[in-house]
Amino acid sequence: MANSQGAVELAAVTKSFAGSRRAPGGYCALEGVNLSIRGGEFFCLLGPSGCGKTTLLNLGAGFEAATSGRVSVVGRPVTAPGPDRGVIFQTDRALFDWLTVAENIAFGPSVRGLPEGERRQRVEEYLQLVGLTDHRSKLPRELSGGMKQRTQIARVLANEPEILLMDEPFAALDAYTRSHMQREIARIWQATGKTILFVTHDIAEALWLADRIGIMSRGPGSRVERIIEVPLPRPRAKMTEDFISIFNELSELIDAAAKTDATD
């Protein structure tokens, strides 16, 4: 499934934030990050809070520019956001508060000028996928936290981007909905061959989903410390012994990368 061209590549990327009067000197979030995500790959990024996962995603999305180094997507340098890279934000403030669930989902197809019929069909399809068909006419302020997040996911999927950048998309969901969404995203990924960069705190989630897992070190100047291939066969529906032993192994690596002393 994976082809050899790097779908998302970061080469020697450094990202510093300028200082302010409150915090003079600035802050160097990422330093010398090298990462190559293969086309069609499901890549999970694990790391402690504040290590720079969102920052890394923002660079790939084109929301911010790297201080130095190269960020490219399918061989082209990233200069701006674009519909080839769908972004699911960590925060639910990303929704359009004045549009209904259905209108939020229709936004991408509509600004890109898809014909009315196809637009409507996609809205229905993805409303159903995230289980919001009955709530299609609600405004975001009338939704629960989990429903907002599902709206965001449907909105991005309805745009059918090649690459998905997902920032802890399931963190706000209840355990049942989360495992349902995990299965769905794995199914969509397998059916469509999209490239997915998926940020999470959750080791088990990364193990359910990823082909490879990148472990980030604690900041400042954090980097992708290690990359691990997940040798588990798919579908990964069960807590096998292999799963548990890899889980434990991974926990130790993360503790080491995060230099254990700090708490999350």
Q: Give the footprint of Mg ion on this chain (CB under 5 A).
A: 54, 90
Choose among Mg ion, ligand ATP, other proteins, none what residue 27 binds, the Cβ cut-off being 5 to 8 Å by kind: ligand ATP
Residue selected from 54, 104, 152, 195 as contacting ligand ATP according to rule CB under 6 A? 54
The residue (of 53 and 178) whose beta carbon lies closer to Mg ion is 53
C-beta of 71: minimal distance to Mg ion in Å?
A: 18
C-beta of 87: minimal distance to other proteins in Å?
A: 5
Site string for other proteins, 65-94 (x = CB under 8 A): ---------------xxxx-xxx-x-x-xx
Reading the block at residue 173, the tokens are 């969901």
240 binds ligand ATP (CB under 6 A): no
C-beta of 117: minimal distance to ligand ATP in Å?
A: 39
C-beta of 33: minimal distance to ligand ATP in Å?
A: 12
49 binds ligand ATP (CB under 6 A): yes
C-beta of 51: minimal distance to Mg ion in Å?
A: 9
Contacts of 206 (CB under 8 A, 6+ apart): 44, 46, 198, 200, 213, 230, 250
Written in H, E and C, the secondary structure of the chain is CCEEEEEEEEEEEEEEECCCCCCCCCEEEEEEEEEEEEECCEEEEECCCCCCHHHHHHHHHCCCCCCEEEEEECCEECCCCCCCEEEECCCHHHCCCCCCHHHHHHHHHHHCCCCHHHHHHHHHHHHHHCCCHHHCCCCHHHCCHHHHHHHHHHHHHCCCCCEEEEECCCCCCCHHHHHHHHHHHHHHHHHHCCEEEEEECCHHHHHHHCCEEEEECCCCCECEEEEEECCCCCCCCCCCHHHHHHHHHHHHHHHHHCCCCCCC
127 binds ligand ATP (CB under 6 A): no
C-beta of 36: minimal distance to other proteins in Å?
A: 21
Of residues 99-128, those binding other proteins (CB under 8 A): 99, 107-108, 111-112
- Where on the chain is the footprint of ligand ATP (CB under 6 A)? 17, 27, 29, 47, 49-55, 90, 219
- Where on the chain is the footprint of other proteins (CB under 8 A)? 61-63, 80-83, 85-87, 89, 91, 93-99, 107-108, 111-112, 139, 141, 155-156, 159, 161
